Amino acid sequence: MTPRQGTAERRHELYRDALAVIARDYAKDLQIDDVARAVACSRRQMQRVFAEMGNTSFREVLATARMREARRLLARPEVPIQQVAARVGYHQPAQFSKSFRRWFGMSPRAYRHSVAPRQGVAGASALLFVSCTTELGGAGVDE
């Protein structure tokens, strides 16, 4: 093994470990120094790892993790948008909304409304089925 191969393997390992730290801690006030410390390397080495192995940056990976989770939480209407913001690591709901709009081209509220009708129809169909079978005395449709 040449030193160059060893370096590439080490960077790949650091990148994988850094992604795991971000996936676990994205909701915290996470900084690149925290991730570097968690995977036992310097800040500069961590920056290089993101650039070389992922063709990206720490901020981009962190934002992606946060926005992915925000989208999932926004599909649940019982979770208030302010709580979604807090749960994905934003202290200010306005900053969350601005970031979300930049990523998805719509506000969190608009996104929620865009996914709600599909869920609402499914929920209404299930409710209709339950009420119909109840009125039939619990009899199935085929009976």
- Domain shared by 79 and 128, yes or no: yes
With 0.85 as the threshold, say if the pTM is over it: no
Question: How far lies 21's CA from each of 39, 73, 107, in Å?
Answer: 8, 21, 28
pLDDT over 90 (residue 93) = yes
The whole-angstrom separation of Cα 19 and Cα 111 is 27
Residue 21's Cα: distance from chain center in Å? 14
- Residue 102 counted as domain residue: yes
pLDDT at 4: 75
pLDDT at 119: 52
- Residue 137 counted as domain residue: yes
- Residue 61 counted as domain residue: no
Determine the average pLDDT of the residues in 81-109.
96
User: What percent of the chain stands above pLDDT 90?
Assistant: 74
CB 15 within 8 A of CB 58: no
- Domain shared by 84 and 103, yes or no: yes
The contacts found for 32-35 with CB under 8 angstroms, 24 or more apart, are 32/58
Range of the domain at 3: 1-56
pLDDT over 70 (residue 136) = no
pLDDT tens figures, 5-24: 778 899 999 999 999 999 99
Residue 90, domain CATH: 1.10.10.60
Domain's final residue, options 31, 56, 81: 56
